[in-house]
Copies of this chain bind each other. A is one copy, B any other.
Amino acid sequence: MNYTLELGIKAKNAEPSIAGASTKSKNNALAAISKALKENAALIISENAKDLQTAKENGMSEAMQDRLKLDEKRIEGMAKGVDELIAMNDPIGQVIDGFVRPNGLKITKTRVPLGVIGIIFESRPNVTVDAAALCLKAGNAVILKGGKEAIYSNICLGKIMREALEKTGLPADIIQVVENTSRETTNELMKLNGYVDVLIPRGSARLIQAVVTTATVPVIETGAGNCHVYIDKSADIDMAVNITDNSKTQRPSVCNAIESLLVHKDIADAFLPMIAERFKSHNVKIYGCDKTIEILGNSVEKATDTEYATEFNDYIIAVKVVDSIDEAISHIRKYSTRHSECIVTQSLDDARKFQHEVDAAAVYVNASTRFTDGGEFGYGAEIGISTQKLHARGPMGLSELTTVKYLIDGNGQIR
């Protein structure tokens, strides 16, 4: 039988065991996984070393090698992440809505697992554990397809988790790691309708685009963040500097960091020199419009459409001076990936207008865009930030790994 189909069949067969498992049973499994990870740290590190060896031979960059690397501390971190899920409320069984119809039918809308979730991701092997644990807590079976650069690590982590599951009396096939990393297998996984209920790609824009284009299984898109801060004419300038600096430089590599800064013309002369001074301490490279260059001088390079459209994920920013809040909103509409957008303002009207008219998962008034995060929202662990509109938008926690079922109780009603 085809390898990918076999994975799908095994997952579907294991699905009822985890979907019907009690919270206690799921928490026992999570505890066993956490314990097994710590106990097998030496094995994980030695398997990970094989991946690192190949990476070195292939001339992988130091930064990428660092993402790939697992050490005692990172394994501790993964185990801790699993432990934290134990304390969280089980989303399954939650009653979302309930009512009695005039004919006496009692209708209850309850949360149930999605079924089988496929995760397609790139180099970080910690995703193998994070994603599996989240799916498990939400009652789902999971098929994990990581990158071939982390294959030894992923297989090892999968094996440890599967053995832990079996020890607590659950079928190992609730968690499966795809051992064949060929493009063919990945393509088959994306078309495994009837066996995989949803695919979640995690990684580069290129990966996500490939999954969206190829998959016939429903996909939840995560990730891309071309985010903006707009400094309104009425902004408190100190607050504007702090929010812009934090949104850009606190961790520039992540999706909720900003890439562009829009400044109202009436405040540009006062604000731009102050933020430029702050950026200097982080060596932030500035691209700007003509007006920005006029104010900040020739150290600023001319920004084109390309810069306004780029997610730098680096100490680089594109600046534009705008004539009005409407121009700012139009610019955002044109370039935003609808992830996180912010206005700094003291005007109630402008705050309301911005939040009403800007279309994004998270729209901020007077706060850093860096807060778009499952942990910061109080949702605990997250599987990603959805930038699409279907099913989930914004930080996706346990609830977003579920669907609903209507339970209808009658006493003989017919139409």
Residues of A that sit less than 8 Å from B by CB = 16, 19-20, 99, 101, 105, 107, 112, 114-115, 193, 197-198, 212-213, 216, 218-220, 236, 239, 242-243, 245-247, 250, 333, 351, 355-357, 359-368, 370-372, 376-378, 388-391, 393-394, 403-415
CB A110 to nearest CB in B, in angstroms, measures 9
Copies in the complex: 2
Q: Evaluate whether A367 and B412 lie within 8 angstroms (CB atoms) in the complex, with A212-B216, A220-B390, A359-B112 already known.
A: yes
Contact check, B361 vs A19: say whether CB atoms are below 8 A apart.
Answer: no
Residue of B at shortest CB range from A412?
A: B239
A20 touches B356 (CB 8 A): yes
- Cβ-defined partner of A391 (8 Å) among B236, B390, B394, B407: B390
Contacts of A357 in B (CB 8 A): 16, 20
Contact A355 B407 (CB under 8 A): yes
A11 CB, nearest partner CB in chain B, Å = 14
Q: Is the interface of A mostly helix, strand, loop or mixed?
A: mixed
Shortest distance from the beta carbon of A411 to any chain B beta carbon, whole Å: 6
Are A394 and B370 touching (Cβ within 8 A)?
Answer: no
- Extra contacts, 6 of them, besides A368-B415, A390-B391 (Cβ < 8 A), are A218-B390, A362-B406, A366-B411, A367-B410, A370-B415, A371-B413
Residue in B closest to A366 when the chains form the complex, CB atoms: B410
Chain B, residue nearest A246 (CB): B414
Q: 25 pairs across A/B with beta carbons < 8 Å?
A: A20-B357, A114-B390, A197-B389, A197-B390, A198-B390, A213-B216, A218-B218, A218-B219, A218-B388, A218-B389, A239-B412, A242-B412, A360-B405, A365-B407, A366-B413, A367-B413, A367-B414, A368-B410, A371-B408, A371-B413, A371-B415, A372-B406, A390-B403, A394-B404, A394-B406
